[in-house]
Structure 1
């Protein structure tokens, strides 16, 4: 059975990376639901649109103080999705290369040797990991769960025992780092998929996705279900080096072309 996928989008339009991601999931036959707090003007046909308040009611979008990124809110929503639905979460910077037909109620994979990512995530509703992740809210103040030992003590001392507001925690502290910390704590890292399944290209090498003549779908082995573009990094690279334009003869360029051919762009 192909997994039913879902995600959250904050904003009125999907960009070319997101549309390429959507096209890849639909082409692989996976049902996809996109939740949002306001209508998305260019949501492609074949995608189910749902009100995000059904899963995680919110009057305000939580953002990281330094970056202004709504990824903080996306993490809260992601964990609520695990509690309240049977969907598998997917980020819209994943490009599917095979159908998502994962078995079982735990779906997460290594993105590097010592860290799991949550760009694709499924957890059991009774998971102690999910229970711990669900304790993180916009009002949380403390020390990020991945910070341990003497460094953790220093945070408490520095803040006179008050801790740090969650929106000022280091990047990734409520996402991959928190997930990895709690999986380790509850001995559930053993269920993580190998790096090659979802994250065969390390974040440090994401430039390869927009390098002309480098990667194609055929570059990946039979065990690779998808690749993670890390859109925030890709967009920075394109803005700095290519006037924001996606090279046509690149991995991402080819997938954007597929989305265009499907009428999404």
Structure 2
């Protein structure tokens, strides 16, 4: 499907070499729903992407090397890059493991609760004038910043870190500290938490339960509602087996791949009772 000029562009960041099929499926789902999709990359050569996805060097938005974060892990770069993306463009940030169910509307805020009522930024849009966005950008410009949302013990460890490495240390001690935890704290501090959507919109299934998405015995999809726009696959929590084998016939993932005509034939076949 050609991209629609009435839909906002969605974008993500890739650090490393090739995408695996789950990430390709996710990006392809946004293309199929009519979004223009841009994948920014940090490598010298753009990774191979599904048809309809445009690639672009990340440095056109934000260069982690010149910003002093050349040694930062991929997840930390992702946390920082998305803030600069939102400040400089009208694009909606999506993690590369978000599967699009319905087109994302062109509204000022896209951010959602997980079922545990914690806030996640796997889909994120904040207006360029957002107090939350600008506060986080200001805080994270300072490599000496000690996040106040960390507990007392962690704050002490960050404060004791080598000068110039405190922000990196905060991330290393608590991986979500510059992403979901930062969003949660700041949205509540600014009052913009009122814009956070209910779990069914982006996170209808907890990460620890995503095995059901690959099972042919789970076909009811009772967790989907008319308000569900996307589903977070939590790729880092998906079992290695699922990443290397074709999802079971009639599973949610297999049905979604069929719907958007995404080819799974290169994956290893698995014997199953519903063949």
| TM-score normalized with structure 2 length | 0.80
SS at match of 1:260: coil
1:178 aligns with 2:182: yes
> Unpaired runs of 5+ in structure 1?
65-69
Bigger CA drift: 208-217 or 16-25?
208-217
Residues 1:215 and 1:183: Cα distance change in structure 2 (over 3 Å): farther
2:233 counterpart of 1:211: no
Q: After superposition, give the CA deviation of every residue in 1:109-155 in whole Å (9 maximum; x if it has no partner).
A: 111343111011011112121122213548634543422xxx32x44
Match of 1:107 in 2: 110
Within-5 A mapping of 1:136-155? 136-137=139-140, 140-147=143-150, 151-152=151-152, 154-155=153-154
> TM-score under structure 1 normalisation?
0.83
Q: Distance in 1 between matches of 2:174 and 2:192?
A: 24
Helix, strand or coil at the partner of 1:144: coil
What are the equivalent positions in structure 2 for 1:125-136 lying under 5 Å apart? 125-136=128-139
State the aligned residue count.
251
User: Are residue 122 (structure 1) and residue 131 (structure 2) matched?
Assistant: no
Would the alpha carbon gap of residues 114 and 75 (structure 1) be closer, same or farther in structure 2, given more than 3 Å must change? same
Deviation >6 Å, runs of 4+: 262-265
Cross-structure match for 1:67: none
Q: Secondary structure at the match of 1:126?
A: coil
Task: Tell me the distance in 2 between the aligned counterparts of 1:20 and 1:115.
Answer: 26
Q: 1:48 aligns with which of 37, 40, 54?
A: 54
Structure 2 CA distance, aligned partners of 1:142 and 1:41? Answer: 33
Residue 7 of structure 2 is matched in structure 1 by 2
Distance 1:75 1:55 in 2: 14
Return 5+ residue gaps in structure 2 as ranges: 1-5, 268-275
Alignment root-mean-square deviation, CA: 2.8
